[in-house]
Every structure is written in structure tokens, then in C-alpha cells.
Amino acid sequence: MNEPDVLNPLVSVIVTTRNEERNIGNCLQSIQLQTYEPIEIIVVDNNSTDRTKEIARRFTDVVVNKGPERSAQRNHGICYLANGQYAMFIDADMILSPTLIDSCVAEIKTDGVVALHIEELILGRRSLAKIRRFERSFYSGTVIDGARFFRRSLFSELGGFDEELPPGPEDWDLDKRLKKVGKILLVPNLGEKYEWKMRDFVKSLGVRIKDEYVGIYHNEAEQSLKSYLSKKSYYSQSMNSYITKWGESDPDISKQLGLVYRYFLVFVENSKYKRILNSPVLAAGMLALRLSVGICYLVTKRAKITEIKATTP
């Protein structure tokens, strides 16, 4: 955290992968097309059986294998392979807008700021993607969001992601530790206009992009409702460990997992309710989706409690 800021410090971008041959090329190309330099690209793969690593090596020489989960992959990339003063992690199905890293480097130099949240736009023409795109727009910069850009030395000092936590709330856990040191800001999502080679691809996936948009495009175009709920159910299994670590009375947890904030306040605070009024159909779909996720969480939690009781003497 005491490293001197130079004019153009090296930024390390860590991409975690597992069987992502459909997405990895677009992801890494978007990093290469950044207006900022210097950048190093690090791909940490988890035993892919497709062409993920082969495609990744067209963009970077640093392609390694590490498991068993994304926390271990990210920690390995940031703590042991990265050389940058700043580090950023993304998933293979994400595409960076061209001026994003430029904006991140400028923003993180603000006094007292230790990490950054980044706006996300969900890509896809299906109804689920449209609803997810609408829903995600309410979470940016809230306790439901997770930091992606930070000083690499601080990340290492804090121990990175807690690998004792199962996949799911590890980004919330990191945010809580980061906020004990300093502030987490949301990167402004409007920057300078810039022509971009990936414009037509993003537009083909249902988003009317603005040249000046600063953020991440998250490609969920092929995700089905079944796979989405399955993923949420898998992640919900780890929430008990997260709650145990920080306590049920923790104010962030009360918002992240509480009914009042997750189903009402996050959608109306700071005049966000206007989006609901302007898009009632999407709002209804979002409510139905949130209820489905909530039911999955309760079912998983009940099953876990039953399992614990069954194995307790």
C-alpha cells in the first residue's frame, strides 16, 4: 500500500478459466485493445479439457494450471505470478470496454481508495439475459457488488481470497477486509468516446453500447434458467460459512442476505425506483427471478441443516 504511484504503473489482469474456448478469445482481445499500457495478462486455468489454453497462448505467454476453485486460481495469479502495482481479476466470459483500465488507474489514485467496483452489463438477447441485465444495474457499488481492481501489495497483505470459504461469498468477504483499510469506489461508467473493434460483437448480443461506456460486458447469452439457478444453488451452500465467519448481526450480511434490502431497498435507494416505474415488465421478471433464487437458497439451507443433524451424534 506504500508503493509509489508512477505515471503509468504496470497493471496485471488475471483471468480464471475452465473450459472457456467459446469466450476466452473475446475476453483476452478486449484486454489487448485497452487504451492503457502497460498491461500483463495472466491466465489461470483449472484443468480445461477443451481448447481454452491453446487459444489463451495466442494472447499471452503466462498460461498456468491451478485448482481446485476460483479463489485459489485468483490468489495464485495475483500473489505469485503478477508483477503489476495494480491487479484486476475477471472471468473468461467478460469483455472490458476499451478505456476501462485507464479509468481504473485514474480512480484508484484518489486519497483513501484501496479498491474499485466496476459497472457490469449482462449480454444476451434471451428474456433471462434481459432480466439479469436489468437486475445487475441496481447492484453496482452496493454491498452486493464485489471489488475487482486494487493495489496488488494490499491484496497480498490481506491474504487474498479466503480459500477456506467455499465458492460464493468470497468476493463479499474480501470487500469487508478491504473496507477496514480504506474506501471502495465505483468507477464512473462514462468516459471519453473511443472507437472499438468489438462494438459489433457486443451489439449482436443485445446491447446498444455507448462509445463512452466504462465497464464490463458479461456474456451470459447462452445461460439457461436451469443453469443459472443451479449455479446459485451451488453458491448458496457456502453462505453458512460466511455468516459464521462474520456473525449474523453483521450489517453487511444483514443487507446481502436479508429480505428487506435484497428484495426492496436495493431497488429503490438513491432514486433507483424510477427504473422500476419505467420498466414494469422487466421489474416483474426480476422479482420472479429473485423469488426463485430465494427459494433455492432456503431449500439448500434446509438440506444442509438436515444433513448436519443427521451426522451429529
* pLDDT single digits (tens) 247-267: 999 999 999 999 999 999 999
Q: Is the pLDDT of residue 292 over 80?
A: yes
Q: Is the pLDDT of residue 276 over 60?
A: yes
Q: What is the pLDDT of residues 114-131, one digit of tens each?
A: 999 999 999 999 999 999
pLDDT band of 24, cuts 50, 70, 90: very high
pTM (predicted TM-score): 0.92
Look up cell 464485489; give the residue. 146
CATH number for the region 11-223 comes to: 3.90.550.10
- Residue 156: enclosing H or E segment and its boundaries? helix 152-157
- Residues with Cβ < 8 Å from 29, sequence gap 6 or more? 59, 197, 198
**Domain positions in the chain:** 11-223
Q: Tell me the mean pLDDT in the region 273-279.
A: 96
What single letter denotes the amino acid at residue 177? R
Q: What is the pLDDT of residues 180-207, one digit of tens each?
A: 999 999 999 888 888 899 999 999 999 9
Cβ(183)–Cβ(198) below 8 Å: no
pLDDT band of 7, cuts 50, 70, 90: confident
Higher pLDDT, 219 or 2: 219
pLDDT band of 5, cuts 50, 70, 90: low
Q: What mean pLDDT is reported for the chain?
A: 92
Cβ(212)–Cβ(193) below 8 Å: yes
Among the residue ranges 38-42, 153-157, 235-239, the one predicted with the least confidence is 235-239
Cβ(82)–Cβ(42) below 8 Å: yes
Q: Is the pLDDT of residue 12 over 60?
A: yes
CA distance linking residue 18 with residue 202, whole number of Å = 22
Q: Tell me the mean pLDDT in the region 211-224.
A: 92
Q: What is the DSSP string of 41-81?
A: EEEEE---SSSHHHHHTTT-S-EEE--SSHHHHHHIIIIII
